[in-house]
Structure 1
């Protein structure tokens, strides 16, 4: 089939086209497990809890010569709550932007009203091309028992699989591949798909914070799009969601994460796993945005998240969200008019307090913002780009040894006392022989000296680190100092 396409001049189409494949179904039929199997990674959170997936998850993968963009969607719900409506609208949007839809059903349950509704959406979206673009996937088919109901829906492509045993997963991949080739051959790809140009390259920026501080709302406001489901219910976001975004000439991946709360308030294994994923996202991010609710003030959990950022030496930005609520409170409590001078002075005072309490990441710039009113949101993108530029700097042209030796002139040097025999003691002062620069995730400098690492006081290490940042004009990112004893 592929050979005939190549002979007929479809080489360029095969190169440029990516096939967008959505996975839909009612809750708890195994969509996210199937998504993980198809993209060969454990990306989507899975559990037996209905409605685990709420936002869409997207991942690129390759099968043979074709590149695929898989979209995992939430299970269709009954439109009883705002969250239900948001989940359902994203499912419909995914279908409309797909080339192929995998309609997943459960072999052990009956075809219900929600699935009938999904089938009607497919018929309406694809019309006469429904069989060209749809595969009915009957999951949980470990037993030989068949549900004849699924074979009378008018869908030609039907495949029994088991995500649990991985039965027929390779067959499903090949069926998707075959259908894709036919779509290319007949020029039936969805030319309007907004996911066609989805890219996974870019600076990874994670938004972390307590539940309901406004992480998802901030991302939507920055993107100017309701990409992430938001509600007033804490814990709405259950999985880390990667969202590609381009600003000026730079590619970014914005990562929305579940809110992190105290262990005593974690109510389920699903939430515990989501929080573990959220904290793990910090480790793999290039920049971390810590979102706090300034109307409530800093909490112990905010400080714990700051510690995780410090622990993994991540560049960070602190967003003090809901600043509009704080100003409204001041206006209600003070009879005098709240003018711009008052607001600016308030920002300085609050920033000093935040830096004092989150001293471990005192290099992080602080912005007072409002996702609701979009106050100061334009500054965030420029702050992110500024940090990206700082991370790309090269310090190899500096005479680092001279810089460090000059720093030693203005501070008492640590020393160790070395005993020789029973009476003679010798003071050995700290000495630097060389400084080596490594261009890593953050600027890294190895200081070759005459002490073991444990013999160097922490206060002295901090002195060197802080002064080096000032001398090299490194303002908003951490640096790493490594100490290596020169062997005699």
Structure 2
């Protein structure tokens, strides 16, 4: 197992602005996706959307945010507070304005918010269709003394200048490097995420409250445990209380998604006295889709043990039901309040860390593979048996494998599950979200197996 590997984090670039100024159009052009909805209607983008981008050999995460508006409806307030809170955790800001409309009072507020963040900041005046209109459009904005470009996103004009500014801000030599295993903690509000962080870090530097949803800003906390280095990616900040519970729901949904993506191992925390729910199952599916090591943490187990007969057995039965798609997930029972189970949790983190880095020699893998496929009838494609040629391990973490066969489409999900079950048993990889890809063999044989 490799200890203390360094992980490079791509800088985060947020696109902000009033509704309907072209933020989502810019996001879609740069990321070459249709993730951001584009409609000629104010306030269509409501959630924060993030997409990794590589431009001219430099990597960054581009983020589309909801439109900032001073309108009085509850949703506009929610978006405004969400975006201003969120800017603390980004590295650069691109503020898009409607160049045809000129400077409006809301733009002045947006520029103030961007300036107060202290982050590098580019002002983009969109919808300037004619080069002859550029200087007139800029005149309103010169007073702010910030970097500025004009653009017409629909015509793809100004995109190169924006990308040149972003990549110019990225200094690869000073990219943040973090040592050790990255751990994210996710889960529903009020299951004890803040308290378990305090128990792990041995400090009360993070605010803990009994009110569901009191955590906002993302905080990364490097620490050592038993001589090994870790970084706790604290999914929703845990520094100060939220102004409004609803604000948190949008923010922490994004933070959890971002934290999962950055983590090596994800701790999915549930309230042990209630057991896992449908919502926890959805979070688990998101973790598995991102292909991360995962540990289910049953917190408040001191209460569970007192209040629920055969507590641990009952909890594991709930796990089997709710996580039927991944029922061998590793479970650790903790109590953030008493500190119970923290040593067990780190023993499990270390075990999962080793499993993530597991590699098996190809010859040993194929000996196992051919011995295993003889245990069950071969899958059938049409009237032809699927014939396997060999199995190889990829360099992905957690462990993933490619099986080469004459008819990969004939390898059913149930047959993959059979192979995965045997791999887990052979190399003690229980709780790992192992994947098997099937590809057509270069030998291309069509003979019956």
State the TM-score, normalizing by the size of structure 2.
Answer: 0.59
Give the 5 Å matches for 1:309-348: 309-330=287-308, 345-348=310-313
Given that residues 465 and 479 in structure 1 are in contact (C-alpha distance below 8 angstroms), is that contact kept between their aligned partners in structure 2?
Answer: yes
Q: CA deviation at 1:473?
A: 2.1
Q: CA deviation at 1:443?
A: 1.1
Counterpart in 2 of 1:216?
194
1:452 partnered with 2:408: yes
Given that residues 359 and 393 in structure 2 are in contact (C-alpha distance below 8 angstroms), is that contact kept between their aligned partners in structure 1?
Answer: no
Counterpart in 2 of 1:438?
394
SS at match of 1:216: helix
| Cα distance per residue 1:183-204 (max 9 Å; x no partner) | xxxxxxxxxxxxxxx9622211
| Cα distance per residue 1:378-400 (max 9 Å; x no partner) | 21112111111222222125422
Q: CA deviation at 1:359?
A: 2.6
Partners of 1:377 and 1:389 lie apart in 2 by 19
| Selected match of 2:336 from 340, 361, 371 | 371
Residues 206-215 or 375-384, more deviating: 375-384
Q: CA deviation at 1:270?
A: 6.1
Partners of 1:42 and 1:225 lie apart in 2 by 34
Q: CA deviation at 1:42?
A: 7.8
| Cα distance per residue 1:316-364 (max 9 Å; x no partner) | 111111112223435xxxxxxxxxxx7xx43133223313321333332
Q: CA deviation at 1:169?
A: 7.2
Give the 5 Å matches for 1:39-438: 48-49=80-81, 53=85, 140=112, 165=123, 200-258=178-236, 268=246, 271-330=249-308, 345-396=310-361, 398-417=363-382, 427-438=383-394
Q: CA deviation at 1:409?
A: 1.2
Q: CA deviation at 1:484?
A: 0.5
Partners of 1:270 and 1:346 lie apart in 2 by 32
SS at match of 1:320: strand
| Selected match of 1:482 from 424, 434, 437 | 437
SS at match of 2:397: coil
Q: Which structure 1 residue ranges, 4+ long, deviate > 6 Å from structure 2?
A: 40-43, 56-61
Q: CA deviation at 1:461?
A: 1.0
SS at match of 1:360: helix
Change (3 A) 1:486 1:228: same
Change (3 A) 1:199 1:226: farther
RMSD after superposition: 4.0
Ranges in structure 1 where 5+ consecutive residues have no aligned partner: 1-39, 62-107, 110-138, 144-159, 171-197, 260-265, 331-341, 418-426
State the TM-score, normalizing by the size of structure 1.
Answer: 0.54
| Cα distance per residue 1:84-124 (max 9 Å; x no partner) | xxxxxxxxxxxxxxxxxxxxxxxx99xxxxxxxxxxxxxxx
Rg larger in structure:
1
Partners of 1:478 and 1:377 lie apart in 2 by 23
Partners of 2:315 and 2:248 lie apart in 1 by 35
Given that residues 221 and 233 in structure 2 are in contact (C-alpha distance below 8 angstroms), is that contact kept between their aligned partners in structure 1?
Answer: yes
SS at match of 1:225: coil
Change (3 A) 1:429 1:216: same
Partners of 2:264 and 2:291 lie apart in 1 by 10
Q: CA deviation at 1:57?
A: 7.2
Given that residues 388 and 406 in structure 2 are in contact (C-alpha distance below 8 angstroms), is that contact kept between their aligned partners in structure 1?
Answer: yes
Q: CA deviation at 1:302?
A: 0.9
Ranges in structure 2 where 5+ consecutive residues have no aligned partner: 1-59, 69-78, 93-107, 125-143, 148-175, 238-243, 445-449
Change (3 A) 1:53 1:429: same
